[in-house]
Amino acid sequence: MLSKLTGTGVALITPFKEDNTVDFDGLKRLLNHVIQGGVNYLVVNGTTAESVTTTQEERWEILSLILQESKGLPIVYGIGGNNTSDIVRRIEKADLKGIHAILSVSPYYNKPSQEGIYQHYKAIAEASPVPILLYNVPGRTGSNIQAKTTIRLSELPNIIGIKEASGDLLQTLEIIKYSKKDFLVISGDDMLTVPMISIGAQGVISVLANAFPQKFSEMVDLALKNQFNKAAENLKEFVEINPLMYEEGNPVGIKQVLELKGICPSNVRLPLVKCSEGLARRIQNAVEAMK
């Protein structure tokens, strides 16, 4: 299980048509693009997928298509939120056949204590028939899973790792040093992937890999082979484009890149809106500079 979730995971976007319905043909093109690009696993229904503005029926339809089109790649499925009992019910009712792990974001908005975060994940882990990946992203949730809490959670048998997007390398290093031996630490920040691997992380769950799967996967592979100078050269190619991906909200930027590449439209659901003309021009210039 753990070896299947090393390397490059791609946090898949959800393509939408102009009428705001799910673009399943665009999703097929995206899957073909990232699979041919060499990613190691697929992350479905994460925050990049606009999961908070898709319905439960749409999520299962999306998952069903991806299970059919995944060509055997492992699938991580996002089930998270800030209502613990609701998440437990959703997991208990879900058909998780073919799912390798659940990625569950730390509770947002209600800002629980560290003990509350621990008990939240403990309840989810006990309810889930598949392994759990923690997801720490303070910039979205408004609270941080502190290293000591992650280390404590790593001792629970059904919690196998964390997508760590705090941006704090010292916190990451503490987790790597003190968590149980086979605990996965996965970068949740594309631009910190190489430094995180250099201190012991096992890969990344990437937004940029939607559009640049081959380039990003090669970079991660180099880093995992301890070829950090070469990996860093690859990483530098993303310096200009990466901040543009988040300037007007995720996945606004990456969807604009995918539209430029002819993979799917850049439509997003409210309260997100398509990127401004000025940002679109800068994204196009950055993409052209990478060719």
Catalytic amino acids? 135, 163
Query: What pLDDT, on the 0 to 100 scale, is given for residue 291?
Result: 72
**DSSP H helical ranges for the chain:** 24-36, 56-69, 84-93, 114-127, 138-141, 147-154, 169-178, 193-198, 213-224, 228-236, 252-260, 277-290
pLDDT in tens, the chain (291 residues): 566 899 999 999 999 999 999 999 999 999 999 999 999 999 999 999 999 999 999 999 999 999 999 999 999 999 999 999 999 999 999 999 999 999 999 999 999 999 999 999 999 999 999 999 999 999 999 999 999 999 999 999 999 999 999 999 999 999 999 999 999 999 999 999 999 999 999 999 999 999 999 999 999 999 999 999 999 999 999 999 999 999 999 999 999 999 999 999 999 999 999 999 999 999 999 999 997
Give residue 1's pLDDT: 54
pLDDT of residue 289: 94
> What pLDDT does 99 receive?
97
In the 8-state DSSP scheme, what is residue 204?
A: E
Are residues 208 and 242 in contact, defined by beta-carbon separation less than 8 angstroms?
yes
Q: What length is written for the chain?
A: 291
Q: What is the pTM of this model?
A: 0.97
